[in-house]
Structure 1
Amino acid sequence: MAVHFHEEDLPAGVLTGDAPLAVDTETMGLVTHRDRLCVVQISDGGPDEHLVRFGPESTYDAPNLKALLGDPNRLKLYHFGRFDLAAIEYYLGVMAAPVFCTKIASKLVRTYTDRHGLKNLVDELLGESMSKVQQSSDWGGPVLNEAQREYAASDVRYLHRMREELLVRLEREGRMEMAQACFDFLPTRARLDIAGWAEHDIFSHA
């Protein structure tokens, strides 16, 4: 198992094939227009994870990464995909779909709890533990330390296995069709976020 670090784009020929891609992002904050995209993490479920870091002056001209993310024939796995889809489209100019979101799937089948964070799911579904210590660290600094790189890699390391566990539960509870409809809507929800409709959106009574 290795974490591969790249500046500004993936190398050519990386992550070829048709396996689903686990994807995550690290940004300077939670406001997409204000807080720049710093890191994209990506994995095909194999032993390695790839991190692509973008500097403060980046033009986000990353043709290899964009081709992978924009491939309509490869499923993308996220945890809270709504945020990542918006950041990727806003900065990289591609809609990284089709989508499976483990957080949405968890909310549809783990109705016995309100704990749907990635750490919670990894613990319950996979029996493993992960650290979130670096979650709020400075992702825009000149150097990403080893702890940051490991944290970023861990955000995509478990998504393939988690999807398999959640698929079993979605089928068991008869909620697969509902889940798929939610996944299909996520790109539009991300675009609503970018356009300014936040929590109280057009579906809200407010």
Structure 2
Amino acid sequence: MSVFVHDGDLPDNLDFGSMVAVDSETMGLNPHRDRLCVVQLSSGDGNAHLVKFDGISYDAPNLKKLMADPNVIKLFHFARFDVAVLSHYLGVEVTPIYCTKIASKLVRTYTDRHGLKDLCRELAGIELDKQQQSSDWGAPTLSEAQQTYAASDVLYLHQLKTKLDIMLEREGRTLEAQAAFNFLPIRAKLDLMGFENMDIFSH
């Protein structure tokens, strides 16, 4: 595994192919209060690219172009949060989307454990270390431990998607999964508007 850290944007010459795994690290879970610090990406080749933001400028044309590219699937775990954060700070609508957490909830109905660590353990035989999850992502320099943690959040998503796609097909829920993925940009927009805790479909 190799981890590459970039300040403020992706290099011009990077090609992630037709599908890129994406995750983000923030100062907390409130997009309006807690700034975006890091966006990590991987093409599934064992390498991870980390874009680090200083909290002042989010002018990242290469990253924005990739996030909005209709020909590149953006692969997340719990896309709802990341898509909202990327929309709020980068001003871009992320599309198209695949979310391993939604896929897991649709097919792994035999468990209520749908975290990335649980999926990696069961579907990829990989044990993730989550120790750095609550560390200071706004620090001027990312520690080696933070870099390794951030990378691990995107390195295995391609493998998980392959396994989950087989399960979705087997259980006849592929179309429902895709419809849920398609709705995610709207769900993220509703969250940013203040409707995150309201079921707008209820009576």
| TM-score normalised to structure 2 length | 0.97
After superposition, residues 136-147 of structure 1 pair within 5 angstroms as 136-147=134-145
Which SS does the other structure have where 2:195 is aligned?
Answer: coil
**Aligned with residue 166 of structure 1, among 164, 176, 180:** 164
Deviation at 1:55?
Answer: 0.7
Distance, in Å, in 1 between the alignment partners of 2:183 and 2:18 is: 22
Distance, in Å, in 2 between the alignment partners of 1:78 and 1:150 is: 18
Deviation at 1:14?
Answer: 0.8
Deviation at 1:203?
Answer: 2.0
Deviation at 1:97?
Answer: 1.2
Deviation at 1:48?
Answer: 1.0
Deviation at 1:171?
Answer: 0.3
Corresponding residue for 1:41? 40
Deviation at 1:47?
Answer: 2.4
Which SS does the other structure have where 1:6 is aligned?
Answer: strand
CA deviations on 1:70-124 (whole Å, 9 max, x unpaired) are: 1011101000000000000100011121011000000000001000000000000
Corresponding residue for 1:77? 75
Are positions 1:125 and 2:154 aligned together?
no
Distance, in Å, in 2 between the alignment partners of 1:29 and 1:201 is: 23
Which SS does the other structure have where 1:143 is aligned?
Answer: coil
- Extract structure 1 runs of 4+ deviating beyond 3 A: none
Deviation at 1:201?
Answer: 3.4
Which SS does the other structure have where 2:134 is aligned?
Answer: coil
Q: How much is the aligned-residue C-alpha RMSD, in angstroms?
A: 1.0
Corresponding residue for 2:182? 184
Corresponding residue for 2:24? 25
Distance, in Å, in 2 between the alignment partners of 1:33 and 1:176 is: 33
In structure 2, stretches of 5+ residues that fail to align are: none
| TM-score normalised to structure 1 length | 0.96
In structure 1, stretches of 5+ residues that fail to align are: none
Which SS does the other structure have where 1:203 is aligned?
Answer: coil
**Residue identity (%):** 60
Distance, in Å, in 2 between the alignment partners of 1:70 and 1:90 is: 14
